Amino acid sequence: MTLFWGGVARRVSIILLSLFSPVYIFVSITESGFSYKTTIFLVISFYILEQLAKLVTISASENLSQKMGFKGVMRASALPFILFILLMLFAKNNIILFPLALITIGIHSGFYWWGYHGYFIKTGDEKHFGLSISEAGFLETIAAVATPLAGALITSYFGFGMIFIVAAFFMALAFIFIGKDHDKRQRRDVKFKEIISLIKRLKSISLAYVGSGGEGVIYAVAWPLYLFIIFGQVISMGQIVSLAALFASIFSLAVGQWVDKQGEKTIVRIGSPLVFFSWVIRGIGKSFASFVFADSFWNFGERMVVLPLNALTYKKALEGKSSARAILFREISTYIGALFSLILLLISFVILENLDGVFWTSAFFALFPLIAVFKGKLADK
């Protein structure tokens, strides 16, 4: 349970950072005298560096977990996180620090999620992975209800710097909850070429993770930036995300129980189109009301895609008796999706000179999990 509460505290921290960091970087670069087009280009480019850092770090995480344990790898992510906070605080007057900051948060994410997934697999209930994941997701969703609006108020009254201080506080709580006791170690070394071979063999499953990662990174990075540019202030952005999370909070538990009883196929078959249409609604409506409605729609669909895919990762890890291979397969595919999604968004922005590519890029990647459904790689019970 401490892993769950650690996840909640970290979720609060990451929500604050993912929502307000892109806006902070955008505002800081703009205030430095750069044009709108150059600023957006730089922001997206910096986040591409973050995804590259995650890809590089994941291999090191695999090696460290054999020596330090999965919790040890999570704790090791504290140092790059501290560097990230410091770099972001000082970057306002020296924008060259922004790409360095995003590289460090990428390293943090690579370490943390490797340890989290590995420990979850080693200690979780195989028959109820869906429910266990949804319980963790439910607690994190409750935190997600209040955090965006609270972050918007903090930013409005105290400035962006306070966001990073509050985020650091909650991250510290996360590491306290994680603790050192009852750690588990990875036993078997996994070669990178094994994962590449697995990705080639299980293309449709890999593409499901690619789609989830590609759509997810747009929501985390470009969507907050789009909302800020449209409304011109952070309060509306916080209200939209908080209201949508509120409508979807209870649904998280129901999806997890459904995964355990039904399997992955039916749920992903419903969830993937929901995510797709949520982006279509955003792109057509382009109003506060349509954004809240679409974001609520997205919350439902996103859970119906992410929870089954995570449960599938954990089950395959136990079936194949290799947690490292299953996690590497998932994480590498997800990061590749995120990387290519941001590259497509950047190309779209260069051509269109606006961020409307947020909608079609996300909608495109949202459909990828359906490939695994149609290929029969996801099964019902």
Write a three-state SS string for 210-279: HHHHHHHHHHHHHHHHHHHHHHCCHHHHHHHHHHHHHHHCCHHHHHHHHHHHHECHHHHHHHHHHHHHHH
What are the strands, taking DSSP E only, across 79-167?
none
33 confidence band (pLDDT: 50, 70, 90): very high
Q: In degrees rounded to 5, what are phi and psi of residue 263? A: 100, -175
250 confidence band (pLDDT: 50, 70, 90): low
Residue with tokens 């449960």: 311
pLDDT per residue as tens digits for the range 269-294: 888 999 999 999 999 988 888 888 88
Domains of the chain and CATH, by start: 2-180+191-374 (1.20.1250.20)
* Predicted pLDDT of residue 328: 82
Q: What tokens appear for 68 in the block?
A: 């330090």
pLDDT per residue as tens digits for the range 143-160: 777 788 888 899 989 999
- Taking the model in full, what pTM does it have? 0.87
* Predicted pLDDT of residue 196: 81
* Predicted pLDDT of residue 86: 96
pLDDT per residue as tens digits for the range 76-113: 899 999 999 999 999 988 999 999 999 999 999 988 88
> Please, are residues 173 and 295 in contact by the beta-carbon 8 Å criterion?
no
